[in-house]
Structure 1
Amino acid sequence: MRASGAVVPAVLTAVILAGGGGPRTAPADGVARAGAASVATAAAVATAATATPVAPVTPVSTARKLPPLPASVDGGAWPSGHLQGMAVDRRAGHLYFSFTNLLVKTDLRGTPLGSVTGFTGHLGDLDFDERDGRVYGSLEYKAAKAFYIAVFDGARITRMNMDAADTGVVSTVHLREVVEDYTADMDGNGVFDGDTAATPDHRYGCSGIDGVAFGPALDGTGGERLTVAYGVYAHTAREDNDHQVLLQYDVKRWKKYERPLTERAPHTSGPAAPDGKYFVYTGNTTYGTQNLEYDRHTGNWLLAVYKGTKPRFPHYALFVLDGARRPVDGVVRGQPAPERGPLLSLLPQGLHDAGTGLYGWESAGQYGLVSLDDGRYYVAETGTVRVDGVTLQTGRAVLHRWTGRTPNPFSAVGASRTSRPGR
């Protein structure tokens, strides 16, 4: 996803609606109240969800009783980039929202519990690892040709405005495979053209990374893997950018790679290669898989994308991988030199385009998609509000049920409201 260009000020104010009694300021170290006299200090808005909670379903991984999930959770309104992804810690009753250059932690009522600031790169999709209790997100520094998985220790995010570099709540792991594909000099002229779609460079059209999700090894060998999806530039004149590219990593071995985030001197500590690299033929999209999610209820993978622009493709917004089918060795279409690789299959359901053979749906999920592994999902809603002349980006997790219907396979559970200023 593209960043909005907004920069998070060093100090943020969280304003919460206090049940009709007017706004109150959330407790936060050094947090100042937003006002018209200061543009650098802006308001963050979070409103409690009012819909009736839906009874939880206990995941396979735990028999512990989990808190019920509300029909919506407000992630607030912030002077940041737009919402990129979400993650849920069911046991603790916490949600995490990625706002491009800001991570926000809330409870199930939408009350801000903490935030991590100071990112100058692009923080994208998120997922929560139940095994180690940490949040994993994609993090890009394209100008530095550096791509990472950011690992957040959610238990240590206890106050607002925690600096990503100085507080020790974030570690990073470098992804060499992504760098090699992003910087590939495909026309052989000895010049890498940088962060632009208007070039034959970038292998597979790689623009970096966005979608991340935990799930099983795609080759069926067993074990949990972190799957990382490429961003892919929209370019209608090339044929080698019509696949989604998925990398898989066994993160149990990552402790030795983790380093603090140092933006002035990006490190290169990370695995030399992924544990698996897979291709999904979808037609070209705009910036690839924005949100990636594994559904343990069905065993399928969901890929939410921005629609592409090539005339011959149907341009669906959601693709689903058939989790019952193993990858098959085949031709990776459109490459300048013949190439074979493990190909994944789309679920043969939903809308169908006979000309290309593609299946998919029209739905939201590009800004945040979380499977609750029981047929329900949190799907993100985004928007903007103006507070004291400052435009704030909003985000909300809204509970949906998977129906599989076309064109939109999700049905909302309960009503949703738009984030608004706390006054």
Structure 2
Amino acid sequence: MSKSPHKDGAVEAPKDQYFQNGIRLFKTKKYELAVEEFKNSIELNAAYFQPYLMIALIKKTQEKFEEGLQWIEKALDQKPEESYCLYVKAFILGQMGKMNEARRILDLSLAINSENIEALVLNATMLMAAHEFEDALLSINKALEIDPTNQSAQVSKLVVLESLGWTDKLQEYKHEVDRLLFRELFLDVSDAVMRIVFAADKGPERIKPKLSILEKLTINLKEAIAYFIYGNTQNMAEIYPHYIKLMYKLQNDPHFNGLPIKNIINRKCFPIYNRLKKNNAIASIENALDRANDFPTYSAETAQLKTLMYTLGAMIRSVNLTKNRLYDLFIQVIDALGHGLYTGNQRGTGHSLTSSEINSIEHNYTDLKKNPGNRITINLEDVNTFMMVVEHAIKLLRLFIARA
């Protein structure tokens, strides 16, 4: 079987059952069994580089670096200019103490693919080890331009800023990391709101009033998170009262026992508690419940935009939209709505939304419509629906900024 490239230039992975079994076993950390399956795949067809790479990754995980080096070199025999394989080789060489060779191989990896995030982070790590902190920061920043939510890059940047003694920038970036993390949590809570709405629509009449209360509490939590992300406050503790009020209602109201929505909300919202606890942003339950006041009633226009904002978040989660151009476009619209609705000296007043931000969204929307590429993995009907929502959002944003 020959190597046949995808449209994006990537080489097809083997389609045999051995390779698929190996991937499944690898994901469940059954490494020895996975190695046997990958070896069987190689016996069936030795021309693919992926089985060799997967065995190398297993050996890397097991810290069997000598063996890992042998397998990654076999992968490179099949595809000498595969950037990721070169990155893995550089990583293994670094772990073996062969830093000069590791740096040389890593440079080759980045020369082939300068957007390989893992290679950029490894490059930064090597530069930090050599106390070349400012160069390390450049490499990390490039990785974060590609994916601002990459946790390895985030941690590396925090380490570099601390090493450089840039205290103000360190604190500023810590808040940025929290903001990005809570933006992901905002998507989860938005999805929870939408699921409550669907449950109320499909559920029995007797439970609808209770679900209505639950919906309001979840929306309040969403609002508190949005104000932390986009507002002028850096006080994460303002989120906790709304979190605990929702959880208190959910756990203590017997009407929700046995309902699937209870488990869904718990799963979606519990990471919020972990993050708040890590940042010492929790208080006693009694004090929190007293502080969990409802947010003010908004104008019809503002309410429509807020609904659109969490609908976009729910749509991202509803199809498990991976990070690609469509995901980026949705996040760009959500951020624009956030800047328009939550940034101001007081709640509901002022905004930082600009025409250039809307123009950028429209440009990316038009470009994606003309050149969707092959990185969008959801079906065409969903893509068309998503694009219609973005088009609607652009119109509403232009009206909003015109009236502000």
TM-score, normalised to structure 2's length? 0.25
TM-score, normalised to structure 1's length? 0.24
Answer 1 or 2: which has greater strand percent: 1
Higher relative contact order (CA 8 A, sep 6+): 1
**Structure with larger Rg:** 2
Answer 1 or 2: which has greater helix percent: 2
